C-alpha cells in the first residue's frame, strides 16, 4: 500500500446483495488535486463504485484507503468527517429550503463561521447568489446541480464524488455544470466524476477509468483514452477507425 494517493481502492468487490458482486475486484486511485473520470456502459458498476467509496455500501472484500486510513466499513458520516463528500445524481438538495438554507445544511457538522463559506460558494456560483432566497425546489435542473455541489463544498472536502452530474440536463446546462466542475478542481479539490457523457468528461480529466462488467478494464490519462480506438469505438460513439 502506498501513501502517495489521496484515495486508493484495492481489489474491491461489492454489491447490493450478499454474495452477488457488481464490482468484481476494482482497483482505482486518485492523487491529491486530481480529476479522475469513471466511464463505462450502463450496469458496469460506476455508481456502485462511488457509493462503495463513500460508505453507502460495504465492500465484501478489498480495501479503500483515504488519506492513509482504511475506510472500508465506515459509515458515510464518518467518511464526511475525514474530508470526503458525495453528490448523488438525484435527491441531492432539500427542495423546501432556500438556496442559502441548503448551503447552511451542507456545513451542519462544522463549528465554524458560515458567512465566509457561503460567500465563497456564491462567488463560485453567481447564479446561486442571485437566487439565495429562492426555494431549491423551484430551481432548474442545472441550478440544482450547482447547489448540490455548493452544498458539498461547504465542508471544504479534499475529495468530491460526483455521480452523473450532467444527467437529464440540456447541452447548454451540461457545459455550465462541467465548467463549474473544472473550476472546483482547479481550486485544489480532487474530484471523482462518474459520468455518462464520456467524451466531455475525459476531455477535462487528468486520468480516466473505464469500468466494464464490474472491472477496471482500461485506465490512463484522459487524453490517451480519448484517442484510444477501442475506447472511442465502444464508449465515445466514434465508430471504427481505419
Residue 76, domain CATH: 3.40.50.300
CB atoms within 10 A of CB 45: 26
Query: Cell match 456502485: residue?
Result: 48
Does this model's pTM top 0.75? My answer is: yes
Total structural domains in the chain? 1
- Strands 35-39 and 190-194 come out as parallel
Query: Cell match 435542473: residue?
Result: 141
- Strands 84-87 and 69-70 come out as unpaired
- Structural domain that includes position 199: 7-235
Do 151 and 184 contact (CB within 8 A), yes or no? no
The reply to whether 139 falls in a domain is yes
Q: CB under 8 Å to 233, separation ≥6 — which residues?
A: 239, 240, 241
What 3-state class would DSSP assign to 22? Answer: coil
pLDDT in tens, the chain (242 residues): 345 799 999 999 999 988 889 999 999 999 999 999 999 888 889 999 999 999 999 999 999 999 999 999 999 999 999 999 999 988 899 999 999 999 999 887 777 788 999 999 999 899 999 999 999 999 988 899 999 999 999 999 999 999 999 888 888 888 888 999 999 999 999 999 999 888 999 999 999 999 988 888 889 999 999 888 888 877 776 544 33
The reply to whether 93 falls in a domain is yes
Q: Cell for 175?
A: 457545459
Q: Cell for 22?
A: 457488481
Residue 138 DSSP code: G
The reply to whether 181 falls in a domain is yes
Query: Cell match 483515504: residue?
Result: 66
The reply to whether 241 falls in a domain is no
Q: What is the pLDDT of residues 144-203, one digit of tens each?
A: 999 999 999 999 999 999 999 988 888 888 888 899 999 999 999 999 999 988 899 999
Amino acid at each position: 500500500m502506498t501513501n502517495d494517493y489521496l484515495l486508493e481502492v484495492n481489489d474491491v468487490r461489492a454489491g447490493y446483495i450478499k454474495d452477488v458482486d457488481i464490482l468484481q475486484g476494482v482497483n482505482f486511485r486518485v492523487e491529491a488535486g486530481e480529476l479522475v473520470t469513471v466511464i463505462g456502459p450502463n450496469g458496469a458498476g460506476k455508481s456502485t463504485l462511488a457509493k462503495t467509496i463513500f460508505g453507502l455500501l460495504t465492500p465484501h472484500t478489498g480495501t479503500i484507503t483515504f488519506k492513509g486510513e482504511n475506510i472500508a466499513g465506515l459509515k458515510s458520516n464518518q467518511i464526511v468527517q475525514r474530508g470526503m463528500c458525495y453528490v448523488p445524481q438525484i435527491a441531492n438538495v432539500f427542495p423546501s429550503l432556500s438556496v442559502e438554507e441548503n448551503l447552511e445544511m451542507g456545513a451542519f457538522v462544522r463549528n465554524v463561521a458560515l458567512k465566509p463559506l457561503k460567500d465563497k460558494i456564491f462567488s463560485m456560483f453567481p447564479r446561486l447568489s442571485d437566487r439565495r432566497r429562492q426555494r431549491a425546489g423551484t430551481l432548474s435542473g442545472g441550478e440544482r446541480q450547482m447547489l448540490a455541489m455548493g452544498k458539498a463544498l461547504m465542508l471544504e472536502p479534499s475529495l468530491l464524488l460526483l455521480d452523473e452530474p450532467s444527467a437529464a440536463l440540456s447541452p447548454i446546462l451540461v457545459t455550465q455544470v462541467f465548467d463549474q466542475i473544472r473550476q472546483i478542481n482547479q481550486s485544489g479539490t480532487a474530484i471523482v466524476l462518474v459520468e455518462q457523457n464520456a467524451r466531455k468528461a475525459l476531455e477535462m480529466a487528468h486520468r480516466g477509468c473505464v469500468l466494464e462488467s464490474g472491472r477496471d478494464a482500461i485506465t490512463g490519462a484522459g487524453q490517451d483514452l480519448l484517442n484510444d480506438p477501442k475506447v472511442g469505438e465502444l464508449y465515445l460513439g466514434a465508430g471504427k477507425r481505419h
